[in-house]
Amino acid sequence: MSMNSTAIQQTPKSQINFEQVKKKQRMKNFSKGMLFLLPSIILFSVFLFYPLARTIYLSFFLTDAAGATTVFVGWENYVTMFTSPIFLQSMKSTFLFVLYTVPITIIISLFLAVIANEKLKGIGFFRTIYSSTMGISVAAASVFWLYLFHPSMGPLNLLLNAIGAEGIGWLTDTSWALFAIAITTIWMNIGFTFLILLGGLQSIDSSLYESADIDGAGYFYKLRRITIPMLSPTLFFVVTVTIINAFQTFGQIDILTQGGPVNSTNLVVYSIYREAFVNYKFGSASAQAVLLFIIILLMTFLQFKFGERKVHYQ
Amino acid sequence: MGQIDLVDISKSYDKQKNVLDEINLSIEEGEFFVLVGPSGSGKSTLLRMIAGLEDITSGTLKISNEVVNHLPPKDRNLSMVFQNYALYPHLSVEQNILFGLNAKKVDKEEQQKRLIETAEMMGLSELLKRKPKELSGGQRQRVALARSVVSEAPLCLMDEPLSNLDAKLRGQMRMEIRRLQKRLGMTMVYVTHDQVEAMTMGDRIMVLNDGKIQQVGKPITLYNEPANLFVASFIGSPKMNMGKAVFHADRNQLVIDDALHLEIDPVINNVPRYPNVTIGIRAEHLYPGTAENTTHVVEVINVEQLGNETLLAFEVGAEVWTAKWPGQWDVQVGEKVPVHIAIENLCFFDSDTGLLIKPARAGKQQEVVTA
């Protein structure tokens, strides 16, 4: 600004090139903006963009144990991946896992959020409890569930025995293991989902409910006609995030089952990890990672394309 | 139908000081009743208690001679318009208007009939398919009103419905609401902090301050005979000019704020003999002085030209007084102008209690002057 004003003082009015001054200001604004973005750009480049490019590059090669490229194989890693029964099983488990966890997490969290949104005495206590799993690390939660699932002294099987039923090999039975992991994941995700949904509920204008009260709307009518539609942007966000999270599940599998029994809980991210750091096949691991990236991208894109139409932003 | 009685209504939160203190009030059927007061006076709380959205701490509330303290809002047979309109953003205008009827499971044909009638009346027929965000402020206001009208409740409550509109639209909606109320014969309880709205719309006004009723009455009564200093300063724009007054019997003079001296004819004027008196005079009663009747000459510190009238501000002791002169006056700041202050235009208040001792006599005379 100061530069401009001196410029104006020095040159007679007719000679000021307004276009040039404007251009200069635009440049200045742009470089200022870039300066603010620089820290994120650097961090993103180092930890996201470069690894992404590197992964795509690696997926077309065979590598040695240290991860250095040896032979260019083109699409072969992808071809092997799609013909490998283990990987296809892994994809199937992953989709099943998403199907198990996402709807149930959302439904339970929504229910908890709706009841925790009531103005009752001591509601703060329940809100803390419901959101508490957010503060627990995946490792701690997994160890806790490992104990619960323990075949002989785990409380779950003790309970089953007490009511006369036979104990379940939660983490060792192929038909139960994925389900057990799903339960753990749902439990861990509820805290975050609950908190976001509660925040969404609290931002709904109370006068909408008051107006509905005067009109004589019942509880479920209000829930269906006001709460759910008004909550739709939040629900949309939560669904998107939960799906992405479910696709990226790793920690609980590593601690609880290591992908077993018989690969039944070998979800994609865990499969990538094993391929890369147990089998040292960085090329095919990269190919799987690229595929996962594309799937998540596609899912999110589809959600925005079809889900957002039903979302009511204020 | 639609008559409201409040008997000793009080409200307090957490057993603290009363937000509303023993309100006794009757609102007649078909009346346009305005609750006015500054923010925090408890007027909205009172309205929400009538609606059933707030608990009544103590006292009895009757609607149509029935005690309704215990009834939920939906059983009180009333409608309400909120300050922010409370329109459902995800529903179209039509769905918004029919929301209540749907909830009450009114017959579909009946719903359509009422919808068409109401939309016609409110000029919304073209907008039924739109969402609230595609409407202007005035149109949203109309949808909110339509929701109230379509319920056919005999009692309508309004909580500062015009405060989100610009000045021009507000004036227009004021008239529309007033006409609607008369046409449908509803009982209306209208909350506002704007004394102009209160004066122009109300059949009767209740002025509320600090949870206590200050005065209830017709707009003109409140203007001419304000019951106390608060009402005097709250009702009327510009506000009533006030000053401490001391009566010197020996000189037959009334001294206002140690600055203005008013000669008093001891035979005619019975100036109240109270130890502490505050006088008030309306801006329009500070007449331009003519050669014969000028009582004071004052120095103008600010001039506001309104086109049809001119507002002149001048200092009296520590206070700034405003005179409203009809017509256009070419007066400059700093100029000394003659004014005519007549003793019969003064309202007298007891400074200790704030209560009115003697209203101005000029209220009636003024009508003759302007007629």
- Picking from A207, A216, A229, the nearest residue to B86 by CB comes out as A207
Interface of B with A in 148-167 (CB under 8 A): 151
Q: How far apart are CA A49 and CA A293, in angstroms?
A: 13
**Tokens 């309880």, residue?**
B189
Read off the pLDDT band of A1 (50, 70, 90): very low
Interface test with B, best of A203, A213, A215, A223 (most B CBs within 10 A): A215
Q: Give A192's pLDDT tier (boundaries 50, 70, 90).
A: very high
- CB-based contact, B78 to chain A, within 8 Å: yes
Mean pLDDT for chain A? 88
pLDDT value for A2: 47
pLDDT of residue A197: 95
Average pLDDT, chain B: 87
Whether B74 and A214 lie within 8 Å, measured CB to CB: yes
Residues 6+ apart with CB under 8 A from B54: B11, B45, B48
Coil, helix or strand for A273? helix
Distance from CA of A207 to the nearest CA of B (A): 6
Query: C-alpha angle with apex A170: A110 to A103, nearest 5 degrees?
Result: 20
Q: In the A/B pair of chains, how many CB contacts fall below 8 A?
A: 68
* Closest-CA residue to B157 (of B9, B11, B39, B49): B49
> How much is the pLDDT for B274?
77
Percentage of chain B surpassing pLDDT 90? 40
Which residue in B has a C-alpha nearest to residue A228's C-alpha? B90
**Beta strand pairing call for B241-248 and B253-256:** antiparallel
Output the six-digit token pair for A5.
Answer: 């004003």
Q: Residue B257: pLDDT band by 50, 70, 90 thresholds?
A: confident
B323 touches chain A (CB under 8 A): no
Q: Which residue of chain B has the CA closest to A218?
A: B103
What is the amino acid identity at position B204?
R
- Inter-chain residue contact B80 with A214, CB threshold 8 Å: yes
- B113 touching A (Cβ < 8 Å): no
Topology adopted by domain B4-227: Rossmann fold (3.40.50)
Average pLDDT over residues A30-56: 94
Asked if residue B367 has pLDDT above 60, the reply is no
- pLDDT over 70 at A281, yes or no: yes
Spatial contact of A271 and A87, defined as CB atoms under 8 Å apart: yes
Tell whether B55 lies on the interface with A, counting CB pairs under 8 A.
no
- Which residue, among A203, A204, A208, A214, would best test binding to B if mutated, counting the most B CBs under 10 Å from its CB? A214
Bridge partners (DSSP) listed for residue B247: B254
Measure CB to CB from residue B90 to each of A205, A207, A229 and give the nearest one. A229
* Chain A positions in Cβ-Cβ contact with residue B78 (cut-off 8 Å): 214
Contacts of A225 in chain B (CB under 8 A): 88, 91, 99
Q: Which residues of A touch B (CB under 8 A)?
A: 205, 207-208, 210-218, 221, 225-226, 229-230, 232, 312, 314
Q: Tell me, what's the ipTM?
A: 0.82
Helical (H) or strand (E) element with A105: helix A85-116
Residue A52, min C-alpha distance to chain B (Å): 40
pLDDT top residue among A77 and A314: A77
Q: What is the mean pLDDT of residues B104-122?
A: 89
C-beta atoms of A230 and B89 within 8 A: yes
Residue-level pLDDT at B370: 45
Residue B312 pLDDT class (50, 70, 90 cuts): very high
Q: With contacts defined as CB-CB under 8 Å, which chain A residues touch B134?
A: none
* Tens-place pLDDT, residues A266-275: 888 999 999 8
Q: What is the pLDDT of residue B291?
A: 83
- Are B100 and A217 an interchain contact pair (Cβ–Cβ within 8 Å)? yes
Give the mean pLDDT of B53-61: 90
Chain A residues touching B72 at Cβ < 8 A: 213
Is any Cβ of chain A less than 8 angstroms from the Cβ of B103? yes
User: What does the alpha-carbon distance between residue A180 and residue A255 come to, in Å, rounded to a whole number?
Assistant: 13
**pLDDT band with cut points at 50, 70 and 90 for residue A153:** confident
> A213 forms bridges with which residues in the sheet?
none
For residue A30, the model assigns a pLDDT of: 95
DSSP-based three-state secondary structure for B307: coil
Q: Compare CB distances from B82 to A207, A226, A230 and report the shortest one's residue.
A: A207
On whether any CB of chain A is under 8 Å from the CB of B71, the answer is no
Interchain contact, B103 vs A207, CB within 8 Å: no
List the single residue in A with minimal CA-CA distance to B95: A225
| Distances from the Cα of B292 to the Cα of A197, B260, B281, B286, B339, angstroms | 77, 19, 21, 15, 11
Dist. CA A193–CA A185, nearest whole Å: 12
3-state secondary structure (DSSP) of residue B251: coil
Tokens in use for B292? 């014969």
Q: Residues A44-51: what's their mean pLDDT?
A: 94
Share of chain B above pLDDT 70, in %: 95
Task: Identify all chain B residues contacting A211, using CB atoms and an 8 Å cutoff.
Answer: 80, 82, 86, 147
Domain B238-370 top-level CATH class:
mainly beta
Higher pLDDT, A312 or B69: B69
Give A212's contacts in chain B (Cβ within 8 Å).
99-100, 103
Q: What is the pLDDT of residue A172?
A: 84
- In this complex, the residue of B51, B83, B133 whose CB is nearest that of residue A214 is B51
Best mutation target, B45, B48, B74, to test chain A (most A CBs within 10 A): B74
Confidence (pLDDT) at A10: 56
Tokens, residue B116: 């068409």
pLDDT at res. B152: 87
Residue in chain A nearest B87 by alpha carbon = A208
Q: Which CATH class is domain A84-310?
A: mainly alpha
Is a pLDDT exceeding 90 seen at residue B368?
no
Nearest chain B CA: its distance from A190 CA (Å): 27
**Distance separating alpha carbons of residues B26 and B3, to the nearest angstrom:** 8
Between B330 and A165, whose confidence is greater?
B330
CA of A204 vs chain B CAs: smallest distance (Å): 11
Which chain A residues have a beta carbon less than 8 Å from that of B89? 230, 312, 314
- Domain locations along chain A: 84-310
Is a pLDDT exceeding 50 seen at residue A100?
Answer: yes
Q: What is the CA radius of gyration of chain B?
A: 25
Query: In what helix (H) or strand (E) does residue B287 lie, and over which residues does it extend?
Result: strand B287-288
Run of H or E residues at B60:
strand B58-63
Chain B residue numbers with beta carbons less than 8 Å from the beta carbon of A200 are none
pLDDT at B1 over 70: no
Q: Is the pLDDT of residue B296 over 90?
A: no
Q: Which of B52, B74, B84 sits opposite A215 (nearest CB)?
A: B74
Burial zone of B231 (CB within 10 Å; 0-12 exposed, 13-18 middle, 19+ buried): buried
Residues of A in contact with B45 (CB under 8 A): none
Domain ranges across chain B: 4-227, 238-370
Q: Of the candidates B206, B197, B186, which has an alpha carbon nearest to the alpha carbon of residue B79?
A: B186
Residue-wise pLDDT tens digits, B236-246 = 888 899 998 88
Partner-chain contact A215 B72, CB within 8 Å: no
Query: Which residues in chain A have Cβ-Cβ distances shorter than 8 Å to B53?
Result: 210, 213-214
How many Å lie between the alpha carbon of A193 and the closest alpha carbon of chain B? Answer: 23
Does residue A256 carry a pLDDT above 80? Answer: yes
- The pLDDT of residue B40 is 85
pLDDT grade, residue A111 (50/70/90)?
very high
